[in-house]
Amino acid sequence: MYTPAHFAITDPEVLHGIIRRHPLGILVTPLEGGMDANHIPFDFEAVAGGPGILTAHVARANPVWQQCRDGAQVMVIFRGNEGYISPNWYPSKHEAHRQVPTWNYEVVHVHGRLVVRDDERFVRGVVARLTRTHEAAEPKPWKMSDSAPEYIDTMVKAIVGIEVVIERIEGKGKLSQNRETRDRLNAADTLATRGLEGLAQSMRKAG
């Protein structure tokens, strides 16, 4: 990924935060003669002394878990906050008229090796963790025991667990750091008025 130094995200907490807030990753895998991509919600686990592990599950009918042997090199892309930036939002534009449109965004690329975990205990654990995380804000969070055991058994048999053992993580935050402070902050304020508060907050912190 092309990442000028002023756009690079190197703080592990920031990288991990983007992954956790935007867990739908794009799993990019090699195929003979090309590449494949699958959109999958991941659970991220930090590991002491290492980059961490991503866990997820895919449909048994999805060929990705059979096409990629254990240890295959893969990449998972997590897209964070993003949005269009108009040059009209920069105060300096109205003075010198030397600004152009752009797109601001946060993205994390996770590089690692794929491990297939086709065992029921592992799959149930993945489903339970993902459910706890994403049901937490519900008034009455759903849990697997809310459904008939035989139904859950059938659903679990229809999926396969996967892990990505992370080797390195790279991040990029293109957040108008290369603009004047007043331009960056005014653009952030404009985004906030249009409902993109997440991107606005990231831009405010980017100074």
* pLDDT for the residue 14: 95
Give the tokens for residue 70. Answer: 């254990």
The larger pLDDT score, comparing residue 207 to residue 7, is at: 7
| pLDDT tens digits, one per residue of 137-181 | 999 999 989 999 999 999 999 999 999 999 999 999 999 999 999
* pLDDT for the residue 73: 95
Q: Which domains does the chain have, with CATH numbers?
A: 5-205 (2.30.110.10)
Give the tokens for residue 72. Answer: 């295959």
CA angle 36, 70, 168 (to 5 degrees): 75
- Provide CB contacts within 8 A for 125, sequence distance 6+: none
Give the count of beta carbons closer than 10 Å to the beta carbon of residue 152: 15
60 pLDDT more than 80: yes
* For residues 119-135, average pLDDT: 95
* For residues 7-35, average pLDDT: 95
* pLDDT for the residue 176: 96
At residue 158, the 3 state secondary structure works out as: coil
| pLDDT tens digits, one per residue of 69-125 | 778 999 999 999 999 999 999 998 777 777 899 999 999 999 999 999 999 999 999
Instruction: Return the biggest CA–CA distance within the chain.
Output: 68
> Could you tell me how far CA 114 lies from the centroid of its own chain?
17
Q: What span, in angstroms and rounded, lies between the C-alpha atoms of 37 and 179?
A: 34
pTM, full prediction: 0.92
Query: What Cα–Cα distance (Å) separates residue 91 from each residue in 7, 142, 177?
Result: 22, 48, 15
Give the count of beta carbons closer than 10 Å to the beta carbon of residue 178: 12
Residue 19 and residue 190 in contact, taking contact as beta carbons nearer than 8 Å? no
* pLDDT for the residue 95: 77
